[in-house]
Amino acid sequence: MYAQITQFTKMLNTLSRLLDKAQKHAEANGFQLEALLNSRLAPDMLPLTNQVQMVCDTARLATSVLTGKSAPVFEDAEKTVPELKALIEKTITYVSSMKESDFSGWEERIVAPPGWSGAFLGKDYFYQHGVPNFYFHMVTAYAILRHKGVRIGKMDYIGQLPFLR
């Protein structure tokens, strides 16, 4: 399904490239990348490392919940950019492993994400939690990098567009 597989994998690849740029920025400016990974937009918001983990976690969970297929367990123990990039890669592999038929009927299926006390329709879960939450952490990750001076711009976030002409 485009809404899940294409949308998630495209942004996950984008996130991986943003981390590459963060790494180059740290190297070029002679500071420890860890300072960037531990940066936050507010004292009571999570730092960049966790934002990346939560992007992956949201894509993984939404894919699993909507297909009913088991998801790989992520330990969220990443501490470096190579580890975070490997997590993103694992997430892309999992999401991409789904076929269109795996999502069959997802919009009207009643789903109950593990650990949640409630259940709702697949479309409600996806459009009112999965997607907004995915972009929440994606854009927050981007915003932390921008706020800290990494030279990225809107087109790094949007990425290549498949124009027909």
Rounded-to-10 torsion of CA 67, 8, 72, 90:
150
Judged by CB under 8 A, the stretch of 30-38, 56-64, 88-96, 142-150 that binds a second copy is 142-150
Q: What is the number of residues in the chain?
A: 165
Q: Closest CB to a second copy among 73 and 165?
A: 165
Calpha distance 95→56 (Å, rounded): 10
Write down the least CB distance from residue 45 to a second copy, Å. 6
* Contact criterion met (CB below 8 Å) for 127 and 1: no
DSSP of 105-144, one letter per residue? TTTTSEE--TT-S--EEHHHHIIIIIHHHHHHHHHHHHHH
Residues 25-84, interacting with a second copy (CB under 8 A): 41-42, 45
Query: From the list 9, 23, 38, 136, which residue makes contact with a second copy (rule: CB under 8 A)?
Result: 136
Classify 161 as helix, strand or coil. coil
Q: Can residue 98 be called a binding residue for a second copy (CB under 8 A)?
A: no
Determine the size of the site formed for a second copy (CB under 8 A): 42
Query: From the list 101, 133, 155, 156, which residue makes contact with a second copy (rule: CB under 8 A)?
Result: 133
Helix residue ranges per DSSP H, 3-151: 7-29, 33-37, 48-67, 81-96, 122-125, 131-147
* CA nearest neighbour of 148 among 51, 52, 41, 30: 41
Write down the least CB distance from residue 16 to a second copy, Å. 15
Q: Can residue 115 be called a binding residue for a second copy (CB under 8 A)?
A: no
Q: Closest CB to a second copy among 2 and 70?
A: 2
Judged by the rule CB under 8 A, the positions of this chain that interact with a second copy are: 2-3, 6-7, 10-11, 41-42, 45, 107, 110, 118-121, 123-124, 127-129, 131-133, 135-136, 138-140, 142-143, 146-147, 149, 154, 157-159, 161-165
